[in-house]
Amino acid sequence: MKISTKSAVLTSALSSSAFLIYALYKGIILYFVNEALEDTFVGGSTSDISIVLWFIISGILMLLTLMFVFFLKIKDLKSQKIIVYGLTFFWFAISIFSIFVPFSNLWITLLTILVGVISFFATYNIKKEIIVELNKKGLTEQEIHLLQKLAGISKK
């Protein structure tokens, strides 16, 4: 499977923006439920802490999505390799933690595993791209000199 680093980062950005929309939805619904319950004679209310937490989570996800979008601009292959390794670890760690979420939200676990698998396949492709790029480039004079010195061949 040929999956580029750009598609892995773009998939990560899209999935984190989906989680961002979900967290904003939860926060807004909780806010309006809290406002509606204050107007009734029942006197019940939701916790203000849960509303604030959903908005904090959505803010963190907004920063994470923006970070993924900025990763798209990186052109250096070695930096892309580090980023894709980090993405793979990040999404698999999130999927392990999301197993503890109630079973009604199984889509969260499946989405994070899918993005982790896409990032995992992108790691193989970036390794191949780096090898091809190094083979195109060839050895410099200094590298040739050091290899000859290591082999014990003196240049005449």
Total domain count for the chain?
Answer: 1
Residue 59 forms part of a structural domain: yes
Domain range holding 42? 5-151
**What pTM was computed for the model?**
0.77
Residue 156 forms part of a structural domain: no
pLDDT confidence bin for 83, thresholds 50/70/90: very high
> pLDDT digits over 100-147, tens only?
777 667 888 888 899 999 999 999 888 888 888 888 877 788 888 888
> pLDDT digits over 32-64, tens only?
888 877 666 555 555 688 889 999 999 999 999
CB burial of 89-106 (b: ≥16 within 10 Å; e: otherwise) equals: ebbbebbeebeeeeeeee
Residue 93 forms part of a structural domain: yes
- What does the alpha-carbon distance between residue 20 and residue 110 come to, in Å, rounded to a whole number? 17
Residue 68 forms part of a structural domain: yes
